[in-house]
Structure 1
Amino acid sequence: MNIQWFPGHMTKTRRLIEENLRLVDICIEIADARLIISSRSPLLSDLIKNKPQLLIINKSDIADDAVNKEWMQWFKERKQNALFVNSRDGGKLLNKVTDEIHKILAEKIKAKEEKGIVSKSVRAMVTGIPNVGKSTFINNISGRKSAKTGDRPGVTTGKQWITVPGIELLDTPGILSPKFLSETQGEHLAMSGAVRDAVFDTAELSCILLEFLRDNYSGLLCTRFKITDTADLKGYEIMEKICKSRGFIVRGGDFDYDRASAIILDEFRSAKIGRISLERPSDI
């Protein structure tokens, strides 16, 4: 399924990031634990490559715990700065992030102090794809509703500075690459809500998701939707079972595929189906 989405405001976001990099000490990139590969924009990686970086793996509480551990080991082996968090952790989250930032910037801070420059806080730019939880991360780390949040991409539309103990955070709008690297990346981003639903066929995408769940999380799939015997079924056949189970029938006895598709995507995104990861290190 070929999905592409790069609205005009993302070009503006690219310029905003480029223009403000000189103002910050470190870049915090937020990625989605369920799709760590797809949720890291190559465009963004290129923009911030010359700055110290901290990768925050958000939504780890709704990703498959076993897969989280695989990723932790993968990052550890490569000595990459990656912190797995649940953005709703509040005060604990602030301590984790502050400690990690000071570890990364230790040499820079020490060099400044030796020159007599003492700063009470560091400046960090918060970046990531749309709907990955950047604003929720900032609100929970600051303990107040400082940044706009929403369950759709594009809620944050301009830069916002938020001050928390020891850190000044610059929130930036979500940014994707002008062209996705593969069909799978586009599908996974759309499943997560990083791409507007109006851009793609939700029924087709839901069928792709159902086939993934059939192959990898059949127990969760069958339990949530109260269905059985999905092993040999195609995605649309599983959707028909869900329509029967949930009563998604329209006049004339036809299946309500639109309603079923919306529910399937919503219940994946909200983790009502269960803790699911779309990608693991072996997919690289």
Structure 2
Amino acid sequence: MANIQWYPGHMNKAKNQIIDILELVDVVIEVVDARIPLSSRNPLIEKLAQKKQHLIVLNKADLADPVETKRWVTYFSNLGHEFVIALDAKHNSQIEQLVTLIKQATAAKTKKIMAKGALSPTIRAVCVGIPNCGKSTILNRLVGKNVAVVGDRPGVTKNQNWLKAKGNIQVLDTPGILWPKFDDQEVGYKLAACGAIKDSIFHADDVAIYLLDFLKTNYTRQLREFTRVTDLDAQSTPELLLQLTKQFGYRDDYDRFALILLQRFRKLKLGRISLDWVAHND
């Protein structure tokens, strides 16, 4: 399988802009993909947020395995992260709770400012995360209208914009950023499967085979229901991909079917699935 890397110039520029803006913000809202809460955490963001109040938002919880999502919230809490929330920004779930967490995270600073005479101090937050994790959708929910550009592909947000949100909060929208090198190529495959990397960057058949392998081991029932193949271990995973290519009507065009399989996974056609499991990281 080929290595996956994607770090275009605009990501490095965005990283530098975030570093420059950190002094102005009170809280960092780190958005991760609930299907891959660990693999979608940019290690750079963890480092940058060390001296700031820090929220972790597991977005797209409607796409993830709900049992695993609960475990991940507990996992991050046990690591010492005081403010962790799982939500579904697309359907406006838990947004009010997110506003409450932002206010809780900044309560001490707000109290100090109010003690000096300010009646309603503005809370400044920066929203950061990998591409296509739903940052802009979260911001639109916080603001109450569609002011941030959204899309179901990475690289939609190109610039940084301050947005006035509910509760006297100002939030900075930022482009999604990855990191220059994935030390573990499995992270690259998970990011690709979930749509955080442009489909043109990687070989779809490699990622589809990785996904099928994971599903065969961890989500056997869902894979059987989707493929209607009862004995998933009767052949190798590449052979299974070829069989499914023919079965779904794509003849020998397994590259095209591999991409179709990834798209169907992203659109819940295989059910609510998490590719990061807490048990695999204990």
TM-score by length of 1: 0.93
Does 1:195 find its partner at 2:197?
yes
4+ residue stretches of structure 1 with deviation over 4 A?
A: none
Among candidates 253, 275, 280, match of residue 277 of structure 2: 280
Q: Identical aligned pairs, as a percentage?
A: 39
Separation (CA, whole Å) in 1 of partners of 2:57 and 2:240: 35
Does 1:10 find its partner at 2:11?
yes
237-246 vs 23-32, greater mean Cα deviation: 237-246
Separation (CA, whole Å) in 1 of partners of 2:150 and 2:214: 29
Give the drift of 1:38. Answer: 0.8
Tell me, yes or no, if the aligned pair for 1:227 and 1:242 is still in contact at 8 Å: no
Tell me, yes or no, if the aligned pair for 1:211 and 1:234 is still in contact at 8 Å: no
Separation (CA, whole Å) in 2 of partners of 1:212 and 1:224: 14
What does residue 182 of structure 1 align with? Answer: 184
Aligned AA for 2:90?
A: R
Q: Secondary structure at the match of 2:94?
A: helix
Tell me, yes or no, if the aligned pair for 1:214 and 1:221 is still in contact at 8 Å: yes
Separation (CA, whole Å) in 2 of partners of 1:64 and 1:116: 47
Does 1:206 find its partner at 2:203?
no
Separation (CA, whole Å) in 1 of partners of 2:226 and 2:119: 55
Give the drift of 1:83. Answer: 0.4
**Runs of 5+ unmatched residues, structure 1:** 250-254
- Encode CA deviations 1:20-40: one digit per residue, 9 max, x unaligned: 112211110100111111100
Give the drift of 1:120. Answer: 4.4
What does residue 173 of structure 2 align with? Answer: 171
**Runs of 5+ unmatched residues, structure 2:** none
Separation (CA, whole Å) in 2 of partners of 1:99 and 1:278: 29
Give the drift of 1:89. Answer: 3.7
Aligned AA for 2:264?
A: E
Aligned AA for 2:158?
A: T
269-278 vs 231-240, greater mean Cα deviation: 231-240
20-29 vs 43-52, greater mean Cα deviation: 43-52
Q: Secondary structure at the match of 2:62?
A: helix
1:239-254 matches, cutoff 5 A: 239-249=241-251
Separation (CA, whole Å) in 1 of partners of 2:91 and 2:104: 21
1:33-52 matches, cutoff 5 A: 33-52=34-53
Give the drift of 1:47. Answer: 2.1
What does residue 124 of structure 2 align with? Answer: 123
Separation (CA, whole Å) in 2 of partners of 1:277 and 1:138: 24
Tell me, yes or no, if the aligned pair for 2:42 and 2:129 is still in contact at 8 Å: yes
Among candidates 213, 216, 219, match of residue 218 of structure 2: 216
Q: Secondary structure at the match of 1:214?
A: helix
What does residue 138 of structure 2 align with? Answer: 137
Aligned AA for 1:192?
A: C
CA RMSD in angstroms, aligned pairs only: 1.5
137-146 vs 202-211, greater mean Cα deviation: 137-146
Aligned AA for 1:95?
A: E
Give the drift of 1:114. Answer: 1.6
Tell me, yes or no, if the aligned pair for 2:110 and 2:121 is still in contact at 8 Å: no
Aligned AA for 1:179?
A: K
Give the drift of 1:88. Answer: 2.2
1:59-78 matches, cutoff 5 A: 59-78=60-79
What does residue 269 of structure 1 align with? Answer: 266
Q: Secondary structure at the match of 2:50?
A: coil
Aligned AA for 1:248?
A: Y
Aligned AA for 1:258?
A: D
Separation (CA, whole Å) in 1 of partners of 2:87 and 2:95: 11
Tell me, yes or no, if the aligned pair for 2:61 and 2:69 is still in contact at 8 Å: yes
What does residue 109 of structure 1 align with? Answer: 110
TM-score by length of 2: 0.93
What does residue 255 of structure 2 align with? Answer: 258
